[in-house]
Amino acid sequence: MSNSSRKGVALITGASSGIGAVYADRLAKRGYDLILVARNEARLKSLSARLTSETGRSTKVLPTDLSNRAELAKVEATLGNDPSITMLVNNAGTASVAPLLNADVNKMDEIIALNITALTRLTYAAAPAFVARGTGAIINIGSVVGVSPEALNGVYGASKAYVLALSHSLQHELADKGIRVQAVLPGATATDLWEIAGLPWQKLPPSIVMSVEDMVDAALAGLDQGELVTIPGLHDGDEWTRFEAARRAISQHFGNSVPAQRYRIGVPAQQRA
C-alpha cells in the first residue's frame, strides 16, 4: 500500500457495489488509501482501477467470501498486522423479508454468519490493533430495523440490533482510547440488497427510499459531527436523543435484589387474590 496517505488506509467490506462502493469513492476522495473486500473480484478490480485513476489513491482488492472462515481469517490477519489501516467499514451483509414461518433456516444461518459473526471477528481483529496504535475508526453499518425489528424478517432485524448493541458497548469501552465507533442505521436504501432479500427496492414507495449516495454522504457528515449513531432518514435528531436518554435512564433501574411488587413474589397466598 501507498505510504502517502496521511489518513491511512480504510478497509471496506461489501465494497463491490451499493453502500460499500460509495464509501470507497467518498473515502478515496477524502484522502484514504483503500483495501476493498467483497466476493466479486471483477467488480472490485473495476472499482479499484476507477478510483485510482480519479483520485490517485492506492487501492488493494481482497476477493473474499466472509462467510467462509478460512477466507475471513485472512482479512482478520490483515486488520491485525497492517499498521497503515486506520478505518474499518463493516458494511458487508445480507437480508431477508421472509416471515418466520416462510423462512429457510439455512438462509437465516447465512444472515447470522455474515451480519454477526464476520462483523464481530473483523471488529475483534481491528479494535486491539487500533488501540495499540492509539487511533482508528470503526464504522458499523446497521439498519433502522435494529430498532424496529417488526418491520422485516426477525433474524435480519435481530442481526442489526446486535450491530447496534455491539457498537454501543465498543463506544463505552474504547472512547478513552482514541478509537471512534459509529453505528449507521439506514432506512430503505436503493441497493440490490433488497432484491436479494426478496423485495426489490423499486417496489417500495419512492417516498421512503434514499439514494445510496445521499445515505453515505449523510453518514460521513454524521461521523464528522461526532455522532455515535447516525440515522440518515430521521429528520428530527432530537427524537433519537430522547430515545437514547430514556434507554439509559431505564437501565439504571434494572438491578434489584427482589422482584417488582406487581409480580407478587413472596406475598402470602391469601393476599394474592
Question: Is 156 marked active-site?
Answer: yes
Interacting residues of 70 by C-beta distance below 8 A, sequence separation 6+? none
**Cell of residue 3, nine digits:** 505510504
Nearest to 108 by CA among 123, 122, 120, 94: 94
Fill in the DSSP letter of residue 184: E
Per annotation, catalytic residue among 23, 32, 156, 162: 156
Residues identified as active-site: 156
